[in-house]
């Protein structure tokens, strides 16, 4: 079971979980993932405001339930990534919750040095996962959630340092594609220059030095 020490680690897990191929997981990996989901629900998301602690009911039992949850989380994360920073039009999601909320000041006094109220949420893991993701996206910077720069990928990933691609494979494939495009353009340029030089020399009846014209965009 993973032990999440920060909200950013929780966000990274959410991004990866939303794109995991659940159907391809071996049984042991599927059980490990369910434990990681439970750890996700018990992770950070604390501060001076209200803190939500998960209840223990409504554990994901099937892979199909997890795949449904993935689609909802991916839809929300995609909106965060693709919505322009200056867009003032709110993005609305039709997501319903079925949660039971409780409160205990006695537990709050034991768990918090401040006066922040502690709320307890009981409900299905699907509902609590989405609720936690909403809190994370409201509290934390989403700058590191990016879409892969590879033209044939566009997968969402959690950026490390100045990372532009979701994987080394995508980075290598995109570099090869750009090299082929550049090489093809250079080859065509060389052929055009050679044909132009031949026409000039034919019209003048002698060898002629023809300067290259600067290509656009260079």
Q: Which residue has the tokens 């966000």?
A: 11
| Model pLDDT for residues 59-68, shown as the tens digit of each residue | 677 899 999 9
Distance between CA 216 and CA 218 in Å, rounded? 6
Beta strands 156-158 and 51-54, pairing class:
unpaired
Extract the tokens encoding 32. 């490990």
Q: State the Cα–Cα distance between residues 9 and 160, nearest whole angstrom.
A: 12
- Whole-number Å distance between alpha carbons of 11 and 158: 8
- As a three-state string, the secondary structure of 56-69 is CCCCCCCHHHHHHH
Condensed to tens digits (0 to 9), the pLDDT of residues 12-43 reads 999 999 999 999 999 999 999 998 988 888 77
- Rounded to 5 degrees, what angle do the CA atoms 203, 208, 209 make? 140
What average pLDDT does range 115-124 have in this prediction? 66
pLDDT tens for 131-179 read 888 888 888 888 899 999 888 788 899 998 888 888 888 888 878 777 7
State residue 140's pLDDT score.
Answer: 84
Q: Which of 97-106, 153-162, 181-190 has the highest mean pLDDT?
A: 153-162
Of 28, 6, 9, the C-alpha closest to 17 is 9
User: In the chain, what are the domain boundaries?
Assistant: 7-166, 167-218
Which neighbouring-strand residues pair with 99? 123
Looking at residue 49, its pLDDT comes to 44
As a whole number, the mean pLDDT across the chain is 77
Coil/strand/helix, residue 89: coil
The confidence score (pLDDT) of residue 13 equals: 94
Q: How far apart are CA 182 and CA 185, in angstroms?
A: 5
For residue 218, what pLDDT band results from cuts at 50, 70 and 90?
Answer: very low
Separation between Cα atoms, residue 146 and residue 151, nearest integer Å: 14
Count other C-beta atoms under 10 Å from residue 215's C-beta. Answer: 9
Q: What pLDDT sits at residue 24?
A: 92
Closest CA to 53 of 65, 61, 45: 45
In sequence order, the 6+-apart residues with CB closer than 8 A to the CB of 71 are: none
């Amino acid at each position: 079971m993973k032990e999440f020490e920060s909200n950013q680690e929780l966000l990274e897990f959410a991004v990866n979980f939303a794109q995991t191929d659940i159907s391809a997981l071996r049984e042991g990996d599927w059980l490990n993932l369910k434990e990681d989901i439970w750890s996700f629900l018990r992770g950070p998301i604390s501060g001076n405001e209200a803190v939500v602690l998960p209840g223990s009911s409504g554990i994901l039992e099937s892979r199909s339930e997890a795949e449904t949850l993935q689609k909802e989380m991916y839809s929300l994360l995609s909106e965060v990534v693709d919505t322009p920073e200056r867009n003032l039009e709110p993005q609305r999601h039709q997501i319903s919750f079925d949660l039971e909320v409780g409160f205990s000041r006695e537990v709050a006094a034991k768990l918090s040095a401040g006066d922040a109220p502690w709320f307890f949420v009981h409900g299905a893991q699907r509902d609590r996962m989405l609720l936690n993701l909403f809190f994370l996206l409201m509290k934390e910077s989403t700058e590191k959630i990016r879409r892969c720069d590879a033209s044939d990928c566009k997968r969402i990933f959690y950026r490390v340092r100045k990372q532009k691609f979701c994987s080394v494979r995508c980075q290598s494939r995109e570099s090869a594609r750009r090299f082929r495009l550049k090489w093809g353009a250079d080859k065509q340029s060389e052929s055009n220059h050679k044909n132009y030089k031949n026409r000039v020399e034919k019209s003048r009846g002698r060898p002629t030095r023809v300067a290259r014209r600067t290509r656009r965009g260079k």
